[in-house]
Amino acid sequence: MSKTKPRITVIIDEEICKGCELCVEVCPRQAMGSAKHINTRGFHPAAIVDPDNCTGCAQCAIMCPDTCIKIVKSE
């Protein structure tokens, strides 16, 4: 029986993100980066730059000091 790979969704609250890039530094697959646009606070928020490379390990969410990243896995 083959098991289907869960679908990973990374949810980033861009308005809370201060663009510290700690999530970018800790991502083992280089899936995280900074958005080209700025949020209302004047920061480039975190963004998934390579969603196919994301494994849903949640290191970005764990590292985020402002808890603005959530990982959702679904079948």
pLDDT tens for each residue of 17-56: 999 999 999 999 999 999 999 999 999 999 999 999 999 9
Q: What is the pTM of this model?
A: 0.88
32/67 Cα distance (integer angstroms): 15
Structural domains of the chain, count? 1
Average of pLDDT values for 44-70? 97
In a domain, 40, yes or no: yes
Looking at residue 1, its pLDDT comes to: 55
71/25 Cα distance (integer angstroms): 17
Looking at residue 5, its pLDDT comes to: 76
Identify the domain containing residue 17 by its residue range. Answer: 10-74
CATH number at residue 30: 3.30.70.20
56/70 Cα distance (integer angstroms): 10
CA 13 to chain centre: 10
